[in-house]
Structure 1
Amino acid sequence: MSDPMRPRASLRTAVVWEVLKEALDRRVKATGREALDVLDTGGGSGNFAVPLAALGHRVTVVDPSPNALFALERRAAEAGVAERVQGVQGDVLGLFDVVERGGYDAVLCHGVLEYVEDPAEGVRNAVDALRPEGALSLLAAGLGGAVLSRALAGHFTEARHALSDPAGRWGAGDPVPHRFTAEQLTELVGGAGATAGSVHGVRVFADLVPGVLVDTEPGALDALLKLEAAAAELPAFHAVATQLHVLGEKRG
């Protein structure tokens, strides 16, 4: 199967997609079932759900936005996977009002923890939705990436403020309510009853490189993708990544 992500968008998703696909392949082998039950909390219009359904998995998307769910339905139909994608209105803090507890082989929680009032409860719910030894894919905003970005833009006071702020915010105008370090995310996963496995830095360089360079220089996009992949697992780069991805497994 070809890469389901558009070339430019792949800079933001390629690392997560590869890690997630490998984790699901392992679950397929462990369970003996080719089709897994996947829950995508905050999955929006299906950036991950539709490609996962194209691989044959059954995907339930929980999202608070009716517009996003409408777009998901249309996108799934266009991709020919509508029968394997279900959209449900809700959020991760009220997850079990709309989905089954312990009913999924994998749960995606991407870009959700930044915006919920209680991130720890959000992770607990995501883990509680898993079957024993199910896979958790957690993606959240990284503190270091925001600090670096503000500093490179010349906003040094805001960068320093983010370093000391408990939520990792650079000021009152910051649109992101929470940011995390890799250590904080792995602690949340462990406290929720799962074992944190690999940690990857996402968008280590992509948000710092001028878009015109990537779009116009021959071979630049492919080279940048390879650089992102090479740096993703190195702890030294987790501290400056725009996002952090943690792969967890529910304890049996």
Structure 2
Amino acid sequence: MARQLDEQIAARYPVGQRLRILDVGMGQGTQALRLARAGHTVTGLESDADMLATSRAALADEPAGIRERVTLIEGDGLETGVHFLPGSFDVVLCHGVLMYVQEPDAMLAGLARMLASGGLLSLLVRNADALALRPGLAGDWAGALDAFEADTYTNRLGLQVRADRLDALTATLAGIAAPLHAWYGVRVFTDLAPDGTPPPGDGDLERLLAAEDRAGRTEPYRRVAALLHLCGVRG
């Protein structure tokens, strides 16, 4: 999934362009480090002290040239205006965060203000229009019926969290001057794989990634993906 997101983001920019990236809710810093290794300058914003400590430890093991390209800050997505000037970044990532924010519109507006003109706001959200699919495929018929009209779900950590709908987020992005440029489905075929499932062998892994990538770009498959990747561009 991570490689899929990176490729979808990079497709907007010339090969080799070095980007200023803000990763909001960066977690353990996996994507931030990967982007720094690719030559980009990355600022990670994380409110969980334990996650931030894990990120700092991972960063400490990197070569000096990569460490110099990464800045880690304790804070959350509602505090971007405290830490940064408007227009400071070419790309703002907000992946797997909106499901934990009850009223995300104010945060999204703040993230859009951080973008330079032509900058990309990358959102990874749970697809509310496909919430019935996971319980249905697992044979949980009661859960599937309950999920058809739901905007919340219980995640794999056992937490009750939000999901988002494509139409609603499209309207939100237009309203914050970062209208939708492209969107993709993520985890079309692999959502039911248990946590910790090892990846298949090299040949099968490449075929799996190719199938996921194609489904994520193709109707009607992308509309039933577990997650949606939305890319808004600052006007």
Q: What is the TM-score with the length of structure 1 in the denominator?
A: 0.82
The corresponding residue for 1:47 is: 30
Q: Are 1:180 and 2:164 an aligned pair?
A: yes
The corresponding residue for 1:93 is: 78
Q: Point out the more displaced range, 114-123 or 16-25.
A: 16-25
The corresponding residue for 1:149 is: 134
The correspondence for 1:201, drawn from 182, 185, 188, is 185
CA–CA distance in structure 2, aligned partners of residues 71 and 210 of structure 1: 24
- How far did 1:48 drift? 1.4
CA–CA distance in structure 1, aligned partners of residues 97 and 136 of structure 2: 25
The corresponding residue for 2:60 is: 77
Does the C-alpha gap of structure 1 residues 236 and 174 become closer, same or farther in structure 2, counting only changes over 3 Å? Answer: farther
Contact 2:131–2:148 (Cα < 8 Å) also in 1: no
Count of residue correspondences: 232
Gaps of 5+ in 2: none
Partner secondary structure for residue 194 of structure 1? coil
Does the C-alpha gap of structure 1 residues 149 and 72 become closer, same or farther in structure 2, counting only changes over 3 Å? Answer: same
Q: Point out the more displaced range, 69-78 or 239-248.
A: 69-78
CA–CA distance in structure 1, aligned partners of residues 186 and 132 of structure 2: 15
The corresponding residue for 1:104 is: 89
The corresponding residue for 1:21 is: 10
The correspondence for 1:169, drawn from 153, 177, 180, is 153
The corresponding residue for 1:37 is: 20
CA–CA distance in structure 1, aligned partners of residues 175 and 193 of structure 2: 36
Identity %: 30
Q: Are 1:160 and 2:150 an aligned pair?
A: no
CA–CA distance in structure 2, aligned partners of residues 153 and 168 of structure 1: 18
CA–CA distance in structure 2, aligned partners of residues 218 and 57 of structure 1: 28
Q: Which amino acid aligns with 1:71?
A: T
The corresponding residue for 2:105 is: 120
Partner secondary structure for residue 169 of structure 1? strand
Contact 1:213–1:220 (Cα < 8 Å) also in 2: no
Does the C-alpha gap of structure 1 residues 216 and 140 become closer, same or farther in structure 2, counting only changes over 3 Å? Answer: closer
The corresponding residue for 1:243 is: 227
**In angstroms, what is the RMSD of aligned CA positions?**
2.5
The correspondence for 1:231, drawn from 211, 215, 219, is 215
CA–CA distance in structure 1, aligned partners of residues 223 and 117 of structure 2: 31
Q: Deviations over 1:172-194 (max 9, x none)?
A: x9624211222222222112211
CA–CA distance in structure 2, aligned partners of residues 213 and 99 of structure 1: 39
The corresponding residue for 1:139 is: 124
Does the C-alpha gap of structure 1 residues 217 and 15 become closer, same or farther in structure 2, counting only changes over 3 Å? Answer: closer
Q: Which amino acid aligns with 2:189?
A: F
Does the C-alpha gap of structure 1 residues 25 and 78 become closer, same or farther in structure 2, counting only changes over 3 Å? Answer: farther
Q: Deviations over 1:133-190 (max 9, x none)?
A: 111111111124431101122222222222212x24379x962421122222222211
The corresponding residue for 1:31 is: none
Partner secondary structure for residue 25 of structure 1? coil
Q: Which amino acid aligns with 1:21?
A: A
Q: What is the TM-score with the length of structure 2 in the denominator?
A: 0.88
Does the C-alpha gap of structure 1 residues 144 and 68 become closer, same or farther in structure 2, counting only changes over 3 Å? Answer: same
The corresponding residue for 1:219 is: 203
- How far did 1:103 drift? 1.0
Q: Point out the more displaced range, 211-220 or 118-127.
A: 211-220
Gaps of 5+ in 1: 1-11, 29-33
Q: Which amino acid aligns with 1:67?
A: D
Q: Which amino acid aligns with 1:94?
A: E
